[in-house]
Copies of this chain bind each other. A is one copy, B any other.
């Protein structure tokens, strides 16, 4: 089984966008009409069959850990109530996807974060998604302000109540920023990657995982800049008298959303194979075909297959085994669906 741990429902029905627009309009217009969102199962099928499902078949991948569009989380908009309503709608839609296509998708939730609001307020929605909707992970935004980085770093006690709940529920978080509203940061080309790099370096400087030995984070987009600068991070940790990076790798994992062969070669030869989880982010940041290869940039399976230094068992770890280990609830969910 090939498990893609990083997929967003970027192709969601147009009505979802209209709902969000109405929600945003109502923030400043008290007379805005009441709003609701509901997609029929057919509408959901129409958005997945020619996109994620088609690509799964073409690429021979089996299952995506599927979450709402990441950019569209836009936690910087409105307040906690805004994010709360928006998260419920988006997460319910993911649950609908998983109900219609139980062989293809397992849910990962968006959290109702809001700038300056304590992360513990996200606990009820996390519990709802895990306990009621059968989700197995969450996306955690290290910068709810959308590019101004005004909240405390991920290693601050500000986040601890949420971490306690994640540990209790046995769900990891993918550290994933949302849209950038800072003109200095292009979303998918800068803010996403910076968020990854910044989170990793926060972890390097902290004893967070002494406090939470079983807390797990996946850093997407191949870990931002981290594997490329692995020597820098090893050296910084050493200069700062921090433990070697290998200590951190008990709790921190990287996905394979790196869109060329040499990048994936680097990732999989620098980071231990047991810390690398297959992912493509499709349909996501980069949609086009690479003229150098004739294949889509985000067809990352080809790069794992093409990494000559990997053995077949190592590929199996990256494609399947690591996801089953890091997402502690995945095996049970798959068993319930008869996919064990």
B149 touches A236 (CB 8 A): no
Check if A263 is an interface residue, CB within 8 A of chain B. yes
The 8 closest A-B pairs by CB, nearest first: A231-B260, A231-B259, A225-B225, A235-B286, A228-B228, A235-B297, A189-B201, A194-B194
Q: Which A residues have a C-beta under 8 Å from some C-beta of B?
A: 142-143, 147-149, 151-153, 156, 182-186, 188-190, 193-194, 197-198, 201-202, 204-205, 221-222, 224-225, 227-236, 238-239, 258-260, 262-263, 265-266, 269-270, 285-288, 290-291, 297-298
A185 touches B225 (CB 8 A): no
Chain B residue at minimum C-beta to C-beta distance from A198: B190
Contacts of A290 in B (CB 8 A): 231, 234-235
| A197 to B198 CA separation, bound complex (whole angstroms) | 12
CB distance from A142 to the nearest CB of B (A): 7
Contacts of A183 in B (CB 8 A): 152-153, 156
A230 touches B193 (CB 8 A): no
A193 touches B297 (CB 8 A): no
Which of B149, B184, B285 contacts A184 (CB under 8 A)?
B149
B194 touches A260 (CB 8 A): no
Chain B residue at minimum C-beta to C-beta distance from A153: B184
Contacts of A291 in B (CB 8 A): 238
Contacts of A258 in B (CB 8 A): 228-229, 231-232
Chain B residue at minimum C-beta to C-beta distance from A239: B288
B185 touches A229 (CB 8 A): no
Give the number of copies in the complex: 2
CB distance from A10 to the nearest CB of B (A): 13
| A180 to B230 CA separation, bound complex (whole angstroms) | 21
Between A and B, 27 residue pairs with Cβ closer than 8 Å are A142-B184, A147-B149, A149-B184, A153-B183, A153-B184, A186-B204, A188-B232, A188-B236, A189-B201, A193-B197, A221-B229, A224-B225, A225-B228, A227-B228, A228-B263, A229-B263, A230-B262, A231-B259, A232-B258, A232-B259, A235-B285, A235-B288, A235-B298, A236-B286, A238-B288, A260-B270, A262-B269
| A216 to B333 CA separation, bound complex (whole angstroms) | 54
Other than the given A188-B232, A193-B197, 11 more pairs (CB < 8 A) read A149-B149, A149-B184, A184-B198, A190-B197, A194-B197, A222-B229, A231-B263, A231-B286, A234-B290, A262-B270, A266-B266
| A183 to B205 CA separation, bound complex (whole angstroms) | 11
Chain B residue at minimum C-beta to C-beta distance from A227: B228
B263 touches A263 (CB 8 A): no
Chain B residue at minimum C-beta to C-beta distance from A183: B153
Chain B residue at minimum C-beta to C-beta distance from A238: B288
| A193 to B236 CA separation, bound complex (whole angstroms) | 13
Contacts of A286 in B (CB 8 A): 231-232, 235-236, 239
